[in-house]
């Protein structure tokens, strides 16, 4: 919970940094934002497995992209910006928090971005609803079922071919934990989602021009799914 709180706050600060730099006509790059996040984690005694993902436009079309000193893009007005950050407290049994949010470097959102974000959001929420339904009905549910539901929603909206990774991964003391994954694509994960497990729900749609992902953290308790931290409902306007 504490990790989720810190990760969310640092995410807000990172988007705010971009907004203030652009407003004051100062240069800002993906690498600057990545370094800002890592420094903020350091101050909070947070550790991470790998650097955060800060990706504009077509860079966000590659789910595995991360800026590096050799390869990064400037962030400019009119850019769509994806930030995927993850970390845990530097304690023996600390659990990872891992979220992805979208921001737009402008005052008015662009229709093409909004359309794809809605599809991703609807997929994400369908996965969460399926978990809630299963818990209320006292039905056991397996990891692949959640992936299949999310994938169907995105497919029905016409973007199935642009969602090419599993819906979510286990979260524990490592970023990609050993528990159940939400996966019917890479594997058919038939492990049951049982109280006490944590995982991400993070569908994405990756077009040539830009990519969109929304990621939440779910802890499955005896009462069903609990989401740690806020859930993004619309793309953040950074100006």
pLDDT at 175: 85
Q: Are 120 and 205 in contact (CB under 8 A)?
A: yes
Domain 2-237 belongs in CATH node 3.90.230.10: yes
pLDDT at 57: 98
Q: Give 58: exposed, middle or buried? Use CB within 10 Å, 0-12, 13-18, 19+.
A: middle
Q: Where are the beta strands (DSSP E) in 66-215?
A: 80-89, 97-104, 197-201, 204-206, 211-213
Give the separation between CA 160 and CA 142, rounded to whole angstroms.
21
Burial pattern 21-46, b for ≥16 Cβ within 10 A else e, equals bbeeeeebbbbbbbbbbbebbeebeb
Angstrom CA distances, 62 to 19, 57, 115, 143, 158, stand at 24, 10, 19, 24, 19
Give the pairing type, strands 97-104 and 236-237. parallel
Give the separation between CA 124 and CA 47, rounded to whole angstroms.
27
Give the separation between CA 171 and CA 229, rounded to whole angstroms.
15
pLDDT at 177: 83
pLDDT at 173: 84
pLDDT at 219: 96
pLDDT at 1: 79
Cβ neighbours of residue 220 under 8 Å, at least 6 residues apart? 131, 193, 194, 195, 196, 197, 198, 199, 226
> For the whole model, what pTM was predicted?
0.97
pLDDT tens per residue, the chain (239 residues)? 799 999 999 999 999 999 999 999 999 999 999 999 999 999 999 999 899 999 999 999 999 899 999 999 999 999 999 999 999 999 999 999 999 999 999 999 999 999 999 999 999 999 999 999 999 999 999 999 999 999 999 999 999 999 999 999 999 888 888 899 999 999 999 999 999 999 999 999 999 999 999 999 999 999 999 999 999 999 999 99
């Amino acid at each position: 919970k504490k990790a989720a709180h810190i990760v969310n706050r640092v995410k807000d600060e990172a988007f705010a940094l971009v907004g203030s730099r652009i407003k004051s006509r100062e240069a800002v790059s993906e690498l600057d934002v990545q370094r800002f996040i890592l420094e903020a984690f350091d101050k909070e005694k947070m550790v991470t497995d790998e650097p955060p993902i800060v990706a504009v436009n077509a860079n966000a079309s590659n789910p595995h992209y991360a800026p590096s000193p050799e390869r990064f893009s400037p962030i400019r007005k009119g850019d769509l910006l994806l930030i995927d950050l993850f970390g845990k407290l530097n304690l023996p049994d600390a659990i990872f928090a891992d979220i992805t949010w979208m921001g737009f470097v402008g005052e008015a959102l662009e229709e093409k971005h909004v359309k794809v974000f809605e599809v991703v959001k609807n997929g994400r929420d369908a996965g969460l609803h399926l978990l809630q339904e299963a818990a209320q009905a006292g039905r056991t549910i397996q990891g692949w079922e959640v992936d299949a539901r999310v994938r169907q929603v995105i497919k029905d909206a016409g973007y199935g071919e642009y969602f090419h990774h599993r819906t979510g991964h286990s979260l524990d003391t490592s970023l990609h934990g050993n528990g159940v994954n939400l996966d019917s694509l890479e594997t058919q994960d038939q492990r049951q989602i049982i109280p006490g497990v944590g995982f991400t729900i993070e569908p994405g749609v990756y077009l040539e021009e830009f990519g969109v992902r929304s990621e939440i953290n779910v802890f499955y308790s005896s009462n069903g799914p609990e989401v740690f931290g806020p859930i993004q409902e619309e793309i953040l306007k950074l100006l």
